[in-house]
Every structure is written in structure tokens, then in C-alpha cells.
Structure 1
Amino acid sequence: RGAAALYVNDLGISFDTLPMRRYDPRDLQKALAAAAQAGYPVVMVDSLSPFWKGTDGTLDQVEKAKSKYGGNKFAGWKDGTPLQNEMIEALMSYPGHVVVTMRSYVDWVLESGQPANKGMRAEQRRGIEFEFGVAAEMDAGNRLRFIKSRCPAFRGLILDQPNGARDIAKPYLDWLREGAKEVDPTVWINAASAPDATPDSLLALYREVEAASALATPLLHPQTGKPISLGDLIKERGTALKAAS
């Protein structure tokens, strides 16, 4: 609800905010597509939890869908699961850095009739934190514990009141720059829209993008301006060229 804007003077940097009042996972995909089109190098989703259990979030979508299946909530996940998965794919395929926050709570379960504390759990689909390159949890005392990291510098690390720029962003960016291959999705988008594209060239392009795990890259359709994934854009153009021939 625009709370991030309250920190602008504390951080000494400028950034844009997009307050949202409903949390349909498809709306987040639209926001990501618009941000990609505008060339934002970094997107922060604060927080992802409402897209799970907020107004029109995944759980709401399942509740609404169950009426199609005779009130069977389990069957409602036929609609809810694809929405959730497509949202995650859009986050993972964004052409820039993505930082996501989630609320957390203590996960209590009954063991032999007694409540057992299983630690903190993110308020989102179980296990979602492991989709990201780095995942950490912060306690009430502002101690940050890394629970998963592809970057060796963070594995098993606990930071007390960390400085985000110095302790997290810099070592992570340094590690990425050492071995990460720079990918510019505009090259693929231009190839998909090229006047001289052929069904065969588009099939090769699709395979290249698929190998880079970038099929779900969100963007705005070059003609309609509506959100679409890179993979769907390539398939749409290929189908149109085949029909034309």
C-alpha cells in the first residue's frame, strides 16, 4: 500500500512505487511486464504474501473456482495452481534483479498430541523461498539467517542488523559478475518480431530461449500492448507465419 515510499528520504535514492489494492497473481504478471517494458533494472515486490492469501490472491482464486467443481475446494486448485506457477515463472524470468519480501510466522505442528515448533515459515506456498537464488529469514531482533544461497559467501551465514548494500548486495553482485552471462531479452524480442523471421528461425529462437530458462520472461505485446510471455510471443508469431504461408 505504498509503504515503501516512506523510506525514500532515509535511503537517499529515488524509486517508483506501484501501490496495489488487489492481489490477483495475474496482476503481478502485468506489473512485471510493464516494468520490463520500461527497462527497470530492479523490481522489489513488498510483499509477495498478499498474492497468496490477500484479496483475489491464489487462495481466493481457488475459493472462487470451487463453484465450477460442485463446491470441491481441492478441485479448485486446477485453476489456482497454474495461476500461482505462472506468477512464479514471471518473477524468475524477469530481465533484471528481483527482490521479494514475504511475511513469516512460527510453524506449529502436533507431534504425539503435543505442539512442536518447526521454525519460521513464509506466508506463501510452502517451499517458495527455494525458488530464489538467495533466501534468508529475519527475526524480531533484525538478525538475518540465510537458509538457501547459490552464492557461497552467504551459505550458513548469520548477520546481525545487516547493512543491505554492503553486506548483501555488493558480495552478491560481485559473485554474479564473476561468472554470470549477461542476457539482454530485447535481442530475443526483436528476433521474434523481425520482418524476415521464418517458422524455422522462430523454432530455433524458441529453443534458445527455452535453454536459457527465459520462456516466461514478461513483456508487453509489440502490437497490442497487452502482457504476454516471451515464449508465447514467439509461438504466436510462428503460428501466424505458418498460417500465412
Structure 2
Amino acid sequence: MEIRKAQRKKAKLRLGIAAPSGAGKTYSALLLAFGIGGKVGVIDTEHGSADLYEDLGDYDIVNIEAPYTVQKYRAALNAFENAGYSVIIMDSLSHAWAGDGGLLDKQGKLADRPGANGYAAWRTITPEHNGLVEAILTSPCHIIATMRSKQEYVLETNDKGKQTPRKVGMAPVQREGMEYEFTVMLDIDMSHVASSSKDRTRLFDGQLFKIDRSHGELLRDWLEKGVEPPPAHESDVLTGVTASELADWTASIEASATLEDLKNIYGNAVLLARNRRDKLSEDVFVTAKNARKKALETVTA
């Protein structure tokens, strides 16, 4: 175990935006991306809403339709990464959690199977969620992820002394604690005013502001401070899939309810093993997949 001096290195952005519908998540994410610079790609789950802002600048889109599986999100991320994009906007990450075919939907369907229970179903869902988080955190691109906020109305007294309702944003529609995975977490209200609920950059602490390109430029300058990170070497790669991860992913494969579920879960498991260069774990996943596929095909025959 080595003790070393702290050293600031250049970094890639991991920024989350949470806001109610109509508050300007997509618009704000694009302005930040253009401020950072480089090729911008948008993973659009909002039925083409990203196309509405083409006048802001040059960007490309990958559309995702229901079911909003983790596999689709990861495939879109990989497509942009392999094509050399600088900034990827995930608009919106909430669909992967609470959308049609998202993780909550999948957990409910697994729990509703005869003889199943909700707790056991999470053994399938948690590794998929963790795999998506890992894909975001390890991406070579800057990532901006938008999330819908749960909505609630509060009563406020206006200048005439009367109480009027105002729509406010609450916690992001995402698995609890997801916001802590980001370097910066911004909340936007219905007046399009942003504030930071988490900010490791310390650029926006205590501020109320409307997002524009200059905020992306500030982030870019902060991210570029420090020494160049060393190139990746074989020794820098994680040594392999942990025993806990291996058990969770294998259990998820074995619990697959359909051939489509099996394909998605197995794909994520193998991707994890290959990223970790762990051939032994990959072989375990292959064996589990083949056994589950045979069992599912026997049931449907």
C-alpha cells in the first residue's frame, strides 16, 4: 500500500441536472455542453425533444424508445464514445429507472412472478443499475445526465396577499443516492433558475443562476487544471470482477424471466468482465447463460 502526495489531475465532467418537466433540462444541458466544447452527442429518450434546439449549435442524436433498458443506454454511450465525441448528454436518465421497461418496471415484473418476491428481484436489478453507473463514471467523455424531478405544489403569498400555488421540483426520479455519483448536481426550478445541491468544483456554491454557455466554459477550465493523467496501462485496469459482483450477476442471469431479459443481463455481465479483462468470470457468465437459455427454451417449447 503506497502513500503519496495529493495531486490534482485533469478530469472528465460528471454532471447531473434535476428539474420538473418544462424547467429547461435539455436546453440547459446543451448550453453547458457547447460551453465545454467539442463534438456533442445526445441520448434522447424524450420523443425527439432534443431536435427542438438545433438552432443552438451543432450536435448529434441517438434516439431511445421504450423499453428503456440499461442495455440500450450503454449501447448508445458506446456508440458516441467509439465515434470520438467529447460530451454526451443523457436526456433523460430517469427513463432507465422509472420508464417503460426501466429497472423499476423490470423489478415489479420479476416480483410478480409465481413464487417470487420483491427482495429476490433486486438481485437482478442492482447489478444492472451498478453496471450503468460504472459505464457513466468510467466513460472517456464528459457526461451530462438529466433527470426528472418529482413534482409538488406549494402555496405562496403573492404581492396582493393571496395564496397561489407554485410548482416546485423535489428529488430526482432515479434510484436513491444516484445524485451522489456526480461531480456536480444542479437543480433547476420552473423559473429556469439553477442551484447546486452538490458541487465538488466549488464553482457554483451558494449561487442562483440561469445556465448559459459561460458556465460550461467555467467547468471546462476547472476540468483542465492539473497534470495530464497517465496513459492507461495493463496494470491500471481493475484486476477482475469481485466475488460479490460475480455472484450478483450470475444470480441475475439465472433469474432471467425471458430470453430478452437474459440477452440484456448477459450482455451487461460480459461487458463488465471484458472491461476488467477477467476471462474466468466471463466463462462463468457464459455457462450460466447457456443453462438459463436452455431452461427458458424448454418452458416455451
2:96 corresponds to: 51
CA contact (8 A) 2:274 2:282 kept: no
Cα distance in structure 2, aligned partners of 1:105 and 1:40: 31
Instruction: Please give the per-residue CA displacement for 1:56-97, whole angstroms capped at 9, x wherever unaligned.
Output: 101012123225672312221111111111111111111110
Deviation at 1:150, TM superposition (A): 0.8
For the residue of structure 1 that corresponds to 2:81, the secondary structure is helix
Candidates 5, 12, 16, aligned match of 2:60: 16
Match in the other structure for 1:28: 73
1:89 and 2:134 aligned: yes
Q: Is the counterpart of residue 7 in structure 1 residue 53 in structure 2? A: yes
Shift of 1:3: 1.2
Is residue 173 of structure 2 the alignment partner of residue 123 of structure 1?
yes
8 Å contact from structure 2 (residues 152, 170) kept in 1:
yes
TM alignment of 1:126-137, pairs within 5 A: 126-137=176-187
Structure 2: which 5+ runs fail to align? 1-46, 154-167, 242-269, 284-301
Does residue 205 of structure 2 align to residue 144 of structure 1?
no
Contact 1:2 1:18 (8 Å CA) reproduced: no
For the structure 1 residues 74 and 208, does the alpha-carbon distance in structure 2 shift closer, same or farther, using more than 3 Å as the test? closer
Q: Which of the numbers 196, 203, 221 marks the counterpart of 1:153? A: 203
Match of 1:162 in 2: 211
Aligned match of 1:179 = 226
Contact 1:206 1:231 (8 Å CA) reproduced = no
Q: Which moved more, 1:65-74 or 1:81-90?
A: 65-74
| 1:138–1:76 distance in 2 versus 1, CA, 3 Å | same
- Distance of 1:237 and 1:57 partners within structure 2: 30
Q: In 2 relative to 1, CA 238–47 (structure 1 residues): closer, same or farther, beyond 3 Å?
A: closer
Q: What's the % identity of the aligned pairs?
A: 29
SS at match of 1:153: coil
What's 1:61 paired with?
106
CA distance in 2 between partners of 1:47 and 1:4 (Å)? 10
Separation in 2 of the partners of 1:99 and 1:233? 25
Considering only aligned residues, what root-mean-square deviation do their CA atoms show, in Å? Answer: 3.0
What TM-score do you get using the length of structure 2 for normalisation? 0.57
Residue 41 of structure 1 contacts residue 97 of structure 1 at CA under 8 Å; is this kept in 2?
yes
Conservation of the 8 A alpha-carbon contact between 1:69 and 1:75: no
Unaligned runs of 5+ in 1: 109-117, 189-201, 211-226, 241-245
SS of aligned partner of 2:278: helix
Q: 1:26 to 1:183 in 2, by over 3 A?
A: farther
Deviation of 1:100 after TM superposition, in Å, equals 0.6
Cα separation, partners in 2 of 1:238 and 1:123, compared to 1, 3 Å: closer
Q: Deviations over 1:200-233 (max 9, x none)?
A: xx5x3425999xxxxxxxxxxxxxxxx8348535
Q: In the alignment, what sits opposite 1:206?
A: 237
2:100 aligned counterpart, secondary structure: coil
The alignment partner of 1:43 has SS state of strand
Q: Separation in 1 of the partners of 2:81 and 2:273?
A: 11
Q: TM-score, normalised by structure 1?
A: 0.69
Distance in 2, matches of 1:51 and 1:182, equals 31
